Structure 1
Amino acid sequence: MHNKFNKLTWAVAVAAAALASQANAGGYQINEQSVSGQGYGHAGRSSNVNDATIVFGNPAGMSFLDRAQVTAGGTYLNVNSEISNVEASRTLDAGVAGGGAPIGMQVPIGDVPGGNDGDMVPGTLIPFAFYAHPVNERLAFGFGVYAPFGSKTEYENDFQGRYFGDYTEVRVISAQPTVSYRFNDQWSIGAGITYNQVEGELRRQLPSEATFSPENDIDSRVDGDDDGWGYNLGVIYQPVPETTLGLTYRSKVEYTLTGDFRAYDPAGEVVRADNAQLDLTTPETVNFSVTQQMSDRLKLMLGASWTRWSRFDQIHVINNEGDTITQETQDYSNAWAYGVGGEYQLNPQLALRAGVTLDFTPTSDEHRSVRIPSDDRRIFSIGAGWTPTENLTLDFAYSYLTERGTQVEQSRGDLLDPDAGGPAPALGGTNYSADYKNEAHGFGAQLTYRF
């Protein structure tokens, strides 16, 4: 085919990869690094020390553990999406539509064939594992492996918005060695480095003729991977034994993504192959929380998280020669998330938990995509921790996430181009708009063993 495939596909690929790999507020966020924390909505993420998952929540908290322990588990996410009020139209150059030569002006010629089933996010299990080892009363070491970011959407083959993206999968795996030092009964600090691997695959379709029939589409795909280093810092302060304040900082991570592009015709033959690269910086985040012991059995938690989303103001993709392929403004805003939760120790063996989280999206209506059609969200959680023996705790949690209904509105005027990237006018384009309503159910379980 032609260079237009590479330009269009990478523009969408970068947008999806950035959203999925950076999402800390809005988008498809992965918060599932602790099932005990999930039970109270992660409200005490930086201040409540339950088990070895504090390696992720706040590295300073490891020195508050009384003995070595390992925590492992996972959360299964089931996401449901409804799509309504769909408008999907196609356009054609007015001259071509009239049977003549192209004149450079698009006119509508009907709807894009296809459907809108929704429920495009498959069920996913997100695992994690942590180990924390107090060396003495002041010094502790720890290590964790977890998935901090990720996204997957997979629409049906004839999805009416397929020209803006019909498959997205981005996965990030992080490994984190950590150290913590406790100065006294009040102050503790911690630090960790993170080694992060990201890989993903993104697909979209391109029409090959004026009817936009899905059977004749060009299947364009891009995949790539990279790794990068980051760090996090934490501090815990206990002014009195009943009150714990925690603050955690997670650094930005810089990637240079490299990938291969392939476009396949309906017969499965490669009609275009190329490569490209982009620089991507994930933004820094800050989490603050306070845990208050109200009585021997009850403690309450409050938390807030801030993400410097304003770093993500544009998409800039280049080829191997350094030439610009696409450069688009994104204009993201810094975002906040807030949580409140509690834990009640019913008896020495059983703890009950509950929490509510408000998570605000950094995206705008202007730039929202079919790949990640999310908006502000509310998350309601319940959980329990069962300790049948002194050395063993089993934690369970359930979360219900509901998002504000949102709209996606996108348009392309350069989908049918008779020239290989030259000055000839585009022969056709497409417009897609729809209302999305998303909800999710999270089922978590973890095991903690103390040595």
Structure 2
Amino acid sequence: MQTTSTLARVTALAFGIAGALAFSHADAAAFQLKENSAKGLGRAFAGSTSAEGDASVIATNPASMRLLEGRQFQADVSAISFSAKFRGDGHYANGAPISGGNGGDAGMIAPVPAMYLHLPFGENDNMHFGTSLTVPFGFKTEYDRDWVGRYSGVKTELQAIDLSAAFSYDVNPYVSFGASVFAERLNVDLTSALDMGTAINASAQQKAAAAALAAGGSPAQAAAAAQQAAQQMAQMGFSPGSADGFLRIKGDKVTYGYTLGTTLTPVEGTNIAFSYRSSVKHKINDGNARFTVPPNAAALLAATAPGTFIDSKGRASITLPASATVSFSHRINDQWSLMADVSRTAWSKFDQVTVQYDSNQPDSVLPFHYRDTTFASVGTEYRMSETLTLRGGLALDQTPTTDAHRDVRVPDTSRKWLSLGLTWTPSERAEYSVGYTHLFTSDPNTHAVSATNNFVDGKYKVGGDVLAASVNYKF
């Protein structure tokens, strides 16, 4: 019992540390994060699961732990700078313009941590145990609360923090297999404005039309009744944009997943690695929905639609996608090495998120309509001396979004990576690495529609830079 209690405290502390740091926008497709290694960043994550001497393989491909030397601890931190500036306008369902500005810069600068521990054991150290703390998914955008697209989203924050235990077995110096199990804590925090004027007006029209039809009226009479109800609601102050409310949805869940991998060395100095990370389905059953409703709207809703727009618990299922990676590393000579990576992520499973409330509130639906994506990179390392190694890389990173479905919460676009880095090894026990990536992006369009059929149309100016540092200590 004491051991279980201690493990629980350590797990909670680890999640807490990562959660305090991991407030970021993703710099891989959508809200996927590759930033788990300064070395990997410096070569655009080419050779991410096949290159020698990078403890991040504990999380991405445990089979490659045989490429690590002895017992070691590695800590990485990546500072992600992401910018998303909107230019455009919005209109209510009746065509009237939506007031408000462009929302400011929805991006931010934030750190993303990673930590690894490797312990070889067994005969000739042919077995390996490793633990890791990583942030494989993370995202945050936040606009001014009164911006023109407020009905489609104001704040969007998602964090997935993984704590894993990994094991691998070396069949011989050329073949190894590995697996890991990870506990993943997902935190979600979403906010948006509510166009209560439109919602109440539309509800009154529907009820008036239904009453007219029930009384034997014609469709024309039903339409006239709806029009009259709309005029009455407008006179009471309930027209589009006249009574804005606010909604905040929060939830968290811990679920488990796994990673499998194998690493082959057909000839000395050449590694080929295959790895698979499972999807993780988070069923959030005890989320919280908090509504802020104008007083005049609250009184009318209590009388006409009891049980709606009130604070309640909520439920939602969010599936974070599976991914598969093929990684290649080749040592040309004592100075030069080449690397390459290709990853495929099953984003098409992330179609939409539906929030169900314990009250009479209709479901909230967040449509994403993502497609599967490919990430491909090439990189190189140059060992300048016994103590200094230089590296660089290029990558193509496909977005799962399209112009037809891109929304304001995740204004993502495909991007190209240019990466540089170096490692300094002052002693046999310690080494220090830095990596830098600049992202080249196009300006994506968006056409978002809110639950009350309010439109926001425009274009984003997006950009990103990543700077990472790490320390590795062998003991």
TM normalised by structure 2 equals 0.79
| 1:239 matched to 2:258 | no
Q: Are the structure 2 counterparts of residues 198 and 138 from structure 1 closer, same or farther at C-alpha, using a change threshold of 3 Å?
A: same
State the shift of 1:242 in Å: 2.2
Corresponding residue of 2:249: 222
Show the 5 A alignment for 1:391-410.
Answer: 391-410=429-448
State the shift of 1:437 in Å: 2.3
CA–CA distance in structure 2, aligned partners of residues 439 and 446 of structure 1:
24
Residue from 134, 140, 144 that aligns with 2:120: 134
Corresponding residue of 1:260: 288
State the shift of 1:368 in Å: 1.2
Q: Is the 8 A contact 2:59 2:180 kept in 1?
A: no
| 1:88 matched to 2:112 | no
Higher helix share: 2
Q: Is the 8 A contact 2:53 2:69 kept in 1?
A: no
| 1:170 matched to 2:208 | no
Which has the larger Rg?
2
Q: In structure 2, what residue type is equivalent to 1:64?
A: L
Q: Is the 8 A contact 2:151 2:192 kept in 1?
A: yes
State the shift of 1:335 in Å: 1.2
Q: Are the structure 2 counterparts of residues 140 and 365 from structure 1 closer, same or farther at C-alpha, using a change threshold of 3 Å?
A: same
Higher strand share: 1
Residue from 214, 232, 241 that aligns with 1:212: 241
Corresponding residue of 2:141: 153
Q: Secondary structure at the match of 1:177?
A: strand
Q: CA RMSD in A?
A: 2.5
Q: Secondary structure at the match of 2:92?
A: strand
Q: Is the 8 A contact 1:65 1:134 kept in 2?
A: no
Give CA deviations for 1:80-127 in whole Å, capped at 9, x if unaligned.
22322x121123xxxxxxxxxxxxxxx323x21111144211211001
State the shift of 1:365 in Å: 2.0
Show the 5 A alignment for 1:35-434.
Answer: 35-84=38-87, 86-91=88-93, 107-109=94-96, 111-135=97-121, 136-209=124-197, 210=239, 212=241, 217-258=244-285, 259-265=287-293, 272-320=310-358, 325=363, 330-412=368-450, 415=452, 429-434=453-458
CA–CA distance in structure 1, aligned partners of residues 118 and 337 of structure 2:
23
State the shift of 1:378 in Å: 1.1
Q: Unmatched 5+ residue regions in structure 2?
A: 1-22, 198-238, 299-308
Q: Is the 8 A contact 1:25 1:362 kept in 2?
A: no
Q: Secondary structure at the match of 2:399?
A: coil
Give CA deviations for 1:297-343 in whole Å, capped at 9, x if unaligned.
01010110011223234444434599983567654322111001111
Q: Are the structure 2 counterparts of residues 327 and 112 from structure 1 closer, same or farther at C-alpha, using a change threshold of 3 Å?
A: closer
Q: Is the 8 A contact 2:330 2:339 kept in 1?
A: yes
Q: Secondary structure at the match of 1:204?
A: strand
% identical equivalent positions: 30
CA–CA distance in structure 2, aligned partners of residues 203 and 164 of structure 1:
9
Q: Are the structure 2 counterparts of residues 67 and 119 from structure 1 closer, same or farther at C-alpha, using a change threshold of 3 Å?
A: same
CA–CA distance in structure 1, aligned partners of residues 429 and 402 of structure 2:
48
State the shift of 1:65 in Å: 1.9
Corresponding residue of 1:16: none
CA–CA distance in structure 2, aligned partners of residues 50 and 358 of structure 1:
24
Q: In structure 1, what residue type is equivalent to 2:57?
A: I
State the shift of 1:180 in Å: 1.1
State the shift of 1:156 in Å: 1.2
Give CA deviations for 1:225-249 in whole Å, capped at 9, x if unaligned.
1111000011110110021101111
CA–CA distance in structure 1, aligned partners of residues 357 and 196 of structure 2:
24
CA–CA distance in structure 1, aligned partners of residues 370 and 284 of structure 2:
21
With a CA cutoff of 8 Å and minimum separation of 6, indicate the structure with the bigger relative contact order. 1
TM normalised by structure 1 equals 0.83
CA–CA distance in structure 1, aligned partners of residues 365 and 195 of structure 2:
23
Count the aligned residue pairs: 398
CA–CA distance in structure 2, aligned partners of residues 131 and 404 of structure 1:
39
State the shift of 1:207 in Å: 2.8
Q: Are the structure 2 counterparts of residues 265 and 315 from structure 1 closer, same or farther at C-alpha, using a change threshold of 3 Å?
A: closer
Give CA deviations for 1:265-286 in whole Å, capped at 9, x if unaligned.
468x996212221223222110
Q: Is the 8 A contact 2:130 2:166 kept in 1?
A: yes
